[in-house]
Amino acid sequence: MKKLAAITVILLIGSAIILSFKTETAKVNTTATLPKDSVGSVKAFISVYKVLMSARCMNCHPSGDVPLQGDDSHLHTMNVKRGADGHGMYSVRCSNCHQAENTRGLHMPPGNPKWGLPPANMRMVFQGRTPRELALQLLDPKQNGGRTKAQLIDHMANDALVGWAWHPGDGRTLPPLTRPAFAAQVRAWIAKGAYAPGADAK
């Protein structure tokens, strides 16, 4: 009888250890600590890049100081310029025309409470950047608004102005991925090591 009790105790302890080990590995798998994988990381970034270079994102991340408009990303009409704070110059302020919400109808001003370009002292240019250049720029706190990698993920996944791109108002096309799919690729890019594509990547 004593022997049986001892075996039962040992079995119980054993399964408790196995169980706690199992929950431990499950925990690890659900956090972002994927093993480093440069090929997978670069592949994820190329998907991210396609969204960043789509008109809905690039039109506010131009190489010059004039915002861009439309699916063909032409220069904003009506002499609109970035200005120091990104919200316009002199009396031509973004909020003169851009409201907190999209104005309905074709060619009407889109809207968001934060509508504006990045400021003149941190221009966050996407237009014309190769995948490698843009990846390195996004990861550099001196060029990305002082963001850590976690804050960069959060901005792309949750920021309301970024989210406007998926509710852009009448007549404007959407980015090539849904927002959740985009956020998943951003996370995979960073979790797998935040690698920048090679210089020849397109």
CA dihedral 33, 41, 56, 178 (to 10 degrees): -60
Q: Which amino acid is at 109?
A: P
131 binds ligand HEC per the rule CB under 6 A? no
| Cβ-based nearer residue to ligand HEC, 42 or 59 | 59
d(CA 115, CA 82) in angstroms, rounded, equals 11
Q: Could you give phi then psi for residue 171, rounded to 5 degrees?
A: 80, 5
Residue 155 identity: H
- Contact residue for ligand HEC among 44, 45, 53, 86 (CB under 6 A): 86
State the binding string over 49-68 for ligand HEC (x if CB under 6 A, else -): --xx--xxx-xxx-----x-
Nearest to 201 by CA among 42, 54, 27, 86: 42
Closer by beta carbon to ligand HEC, 14 or else 113: 113
Using rule CB under 6 A, residue 157 touches ligand HEC: no
Query: Given candidates 45, 49, 115, 195, which one binds ligand HEC under the rule CB under 6 A?
Result: 115
Q: Whole-angstrom Cα distance, residue 141 to residue 122?
A: 11
Supply the minimum distance, in Å, between the C-beta of residue 200 and ligand HEC.
23
How far apart CA 162 and CA 110 sit, in angstroms, is 13
Q: Which of residues 90-109 bind ligand HEC (CB under 6 A)?
A: 92, 94, 96-98, 107, 109
Terminal CA-to-CA distance of the chain, rounded, Å?
73
The binding site for ligand HEC (CB under 6 A) comprises 51-52, 55-57, 59-61, 67, 69-70, 76, 78, 80, 82, 86-88, 92, 94, 96-98, 107, 109-110, 115-118, 124, 138, 144-145, 155-156, 161-162, 164-165, 168, 172, 175
